[in-house]
Amino acid sequence: MPPRTNVLLAPVTVTPTKPLTPSHLKGLLWTDVMYRATAPLAEVSYRYSHTTYHVTEQTVGFWEYLDRAHGELDYATLAEEDIGDLYVTYRAADRPQSAGALRPYRDAVEHDGWVHPASERMLRLWAGHYARLGMHDPGLVAHQPPGLGLAEMIDRLAAVGLVLDQRPGGGPVYLDLTRYGMPLRRIVSVDGRPNYLACALRELLPIVPDHDEVVLLHDRELDADYQLLARVLATLGPTVRRVSLGRVPIDGKITSARHGGWRGHTAGALLRAAGEAMAGPVPAPGGPDDGTAALRLGMRLYFIATLGPGQRQSFRHDLLRQCLTTASRLLNRARDAVAGGDEELRGALGRHRRDHTYVDPYRLTCSLLGSRRPAPDPGLLAAVYL
């Protein structure tokens, strides 16, 4: 038997400063189905480290603001929407924070693995959402430091001529891919602050050489940075794929979570509404039978098959409810079907690949739908969706 291909899934990381929105859920469910569907066909690693990105200004700046403005709050009692409201207020103030004010927070993350109580609370709430949705937890609350320090990462890029380092003259650091016709991109500011791209390089540079294929999943607003990241990683040997997903509009508008507007559309709110919409328990082949199976499958039918990879369609509660109903019907049909063996499962999954090793979540999920299609394989549902 030939050796299995090593695949690395590296989705964009959601910073634990605001609630999970429909756009976040779409990316997370897309990645989860890709991970679970590809695992029977290849050796798959799922890298998703919050530790790596805690040092970005988006996160440590919020932490410094909380301690300065709300130092007495008991975050353990707050809902995710409450913490999100504090984040919206922080971003709206747009008050510059000095590198000196943020340095103790970065040092605490880098040297002690420290996490602010507000983000620790958020991550634990998210872990509950992951469990309810049956998503693989890649280590939400685990300490997972990147393999390279910031200086080591810059040195690694300098060794292959991919960085313009102006620190000796008191300047910033740029990722330099001009040889490929791509623009300079600043990754470290004059006062030493790394951005998200710098953190991604610290995390991925040391691990991608051990993989045959790297899949970068991100939202379309990050296309420019992820084109640069993919080019750098490709110089290390593996085939690099980018999967770009559109965000989910709310009432026709696509806005960042930092501006708010997510009330009634957070992961917690959607899970509560979906639970109330369920008519009753549906026995699940190889999965839970208390209604959870229909919830898990229905959410994936909506955020993957119904919304698709684009961003034209606004979030609709009625369509989500329809997908929950469709999930119940599929589970009822699958209950009496005969599960295929491992070989049949690999064959069914392999049909939804093209020139890449990973399984396309959209094609696979759409294949479950259609009135004339046979009942879904109970083994496939259990392995990928429940």
115: pLDDT strictly greater than 70:
yes
pLDDT at residue 27 greater than cutoff 90? yes
pLDDT-above-70 percentage for the chain: 94
Mean of the per-residue pLDDT values for the chain? 91
Q: Which phi-psi region, left, alpha or beta, contains residue 288 (left: φ > 0; alpha: ψ -120 to 50)?
A: beta
Give the integer Cα–Cα distance in Å for 286 and 288: 7
Residue 211 has pLDDT above 50, yes or no: yes
Range among 83-97, 135-149, 279-293, 331-345 with highest mean pLDDT value: 135-149
Residue 14, pLDDT > 60, answer yes
CA distance 288 to 110: 40
Domain assignments of the chain as residue spans, ordered by start: 6-143+200-245, 148-199, 258-385
Q: Indicate whether 200 pLDDT > 50.
A: yes
pLDDT band at residue 278 using 50, 70 and 90 as cut-offs: low
Q: What is the pLDDT of residue 261?
A: 75
Give the pLDDT band (50/70/90) at residue 323: very high
Those residues with Cβ within 8 angstroms of residue 372's Cβ, 6 or more apart along the chain or in another chain: none
**Closest alpha carbon to 241 in 222, 218, 224:** 218
Give residue 94's pLDDT: 67
Q: How much of the chain, in percent, has pLDDT values that exceed 90?
A: 79
pLDDT at 259: 64
How far apart (Å, rounded) are the C-alpha atoms in residues 52 and 16? 12
Confidence class of residue 257 from pLDDT cuts 50, 70 and 90? low
Strand partners, 46: 9
What SS3 class is residue 326?
helix
Q: For residue 214, what are the CA distances in angstroms to 146, 201, 232? A: 17, 13, 12
Say what the pLDDT of residue 345 is.
Answer: 84
CB 216 within 8 A of CB 230: yes
Distances (CA, A) of 245 to 266, 305, 352: 19, 13, 18
Average pLDDT over residues 209-226: 96
Alpha-carbon gap, residue 282 to 378, rounded angstroms? 14
pLDDT at 1: 45
Catalogue the long-range contacts made by 344-350 (C-beta closer than 8 Å, 24 or more residues apart).
344/377, 344/379, 345/40, 345/377, 345/379, 345/380, 345/383, 346/40, 346/41, 348/377, 348/380, 349/37, 349/38, 349/40, 349/41, 349/380, 349/384, 350/41
Calculate mean pLDDT across residues 63-68. 96
C-alpha to C-alpha distance for 261 and 59, rounded to whole angstroms: 20
Q: How far apart are CA 175 and CA 182, in angstroms?
A: 10
- Compute the distance between CA of residue 294 and CA of residue 20 in angstroms, rounded to an integer: 21
Has residue 191 got a pLDDT over 80?
A: yes
Q: How confident is the model at residue 285 (pLDDT cuts 50, 70, 90)?
A: low
pLDDT category, 275, cuts 50, 70, 90? confident
pTM (whole model) above 0.95: no
pLDDT of 8 strictly over 70: yes
**Residues 300, 274: Cα–Cα separation, whole Å:** 13
Task: State the pLDDT confidence band at 359, using cuts at 50, 70 and 90.
Answer: very high
Under CATH, domain 6-143+200-245 is a member of which superfamily?
A: HUPs (3.40.50.620)
